[in-house]
Amino acid sequence: MSETKKNVDKKGSRDMDEIAKTLFAPVYPVIAENIIRRLGITTGTCVDIGSGPASLAIAVARQSNLSIIALDYSDDMHDAAARNINEAGLSDRIHLLCGDVHAIPLDDDSADLIISRGSMHFWDDIRTAFREIYRILKPGGKTYIGAGFGNKELRDEIYITKNKANPDWKEFSRKTFSPENVERFRTMLDEIGVPEYEIILGDEGLWIVLSKTKPGAL
């Protein structure tokens, strides 16, 4: 990792940890609930990609019996995550793994559930990332990968604060949660040959649910 990226990460991880504990705090339990209600996977291995301060991993652990791998390429994010996991008393259920989504250091067909929130718009090569995600998914497993705030009330509340703080936010969120973006992901998933998927666009956000029926990679 370059020196520049490390420096950006130090401030970035402090800011992310801060917002995850304040403005975004109520969204994680709601997203965890959405994941479990939609996919019904509550046991086995879950991988949270771009887990940051581990707020989603913690919320999912609290609502399930899943053993969770919190994967992130930033050491600084992992420092914050380690503190939060420890404070939550979940060190036996959530394990940190340093790694990049473009070359995930996990075996083929090893994850029952793969989740990721607010990370994919940072990925350099979305095709490679999704091939890797598909590779580590177990047959019968599912993903919930995307962006969002869980429900309409939380989304509307967060938009008011974000629009005030950052004039670019409106355009960023309009583009992120748009039918055009869904089409872009659909084209990408068809091009790499994912056989079965659903893209959710609604009050809960934009989420990509991949399913895997046969073992192996694409």
For binding to ligand SAM (CB under 6 A), which residues are involved?
16, 20, 50-52, 55-56, 72-74, 77, 100-102, 117-119, 122-123
For the CB of residue 73, give the shortest distance to ligand SAM in the complex, in Å. 4
Name the residue nearer to ligand SAM (CB basis): 133 or 210.
Answer: 133
For the CB of residue 25, give the shortest distance to ligand SAM in the complex, in Å. 10
Distance CA 59, CA 134 (A): 24
For the CB of residue 82, give the shortest distance to ligand SAM in the complex, in Å. 13
For the CB of residue 123, give the shortest distance to ligand SAM in the complex, in Å. 5
Which amino acid, residue 46? C
Classify 71 as helix, strand or coil.
strand
Name the residue nearer to ligand SAM (CB basis): 32 or 194.
Answer: 32
Q: Which helix (H) or strand (E) segment is 21 a member of?
A: helix 3-21
CA dist 99 → 35, 55, 103, 117, 184 (Å): 23, 18, 7, 16, 26
- Candidates 123, 104, 122, 124; CA nearest to 114 is 104
For the CB of residue 115, give the shortest distance to ligand SAM in the complex, in Å. 9
Name the residue nearer to ligand SAM (CB basis): 72 or 112.
Answer: 72
Taken in order 89, 108, 101, 76, the sign of the CA dihedral is positive
For the CB of residue 214, give the shortest distance to ligand SAM in the complex, in Å. 26
Residue 56: partners with Cβ closer than 8 Å, 6 or more residues away: 28, 31, 32, 48, 115, 117
Name the residue nearer to ligand SAM (CB basis): 123 or 159.
Answer: 123
Residue 27: partners with Cβ closer than 8 Å, 6 or more residues away: 148, 149, 150, 154, 158
Name the residue nearer to ligand SAM (CB basis): 6 or 196.
Answer: 6
Name the residue nearer to ligand SAM (CB basis): 100 or 112.
Answer: 100
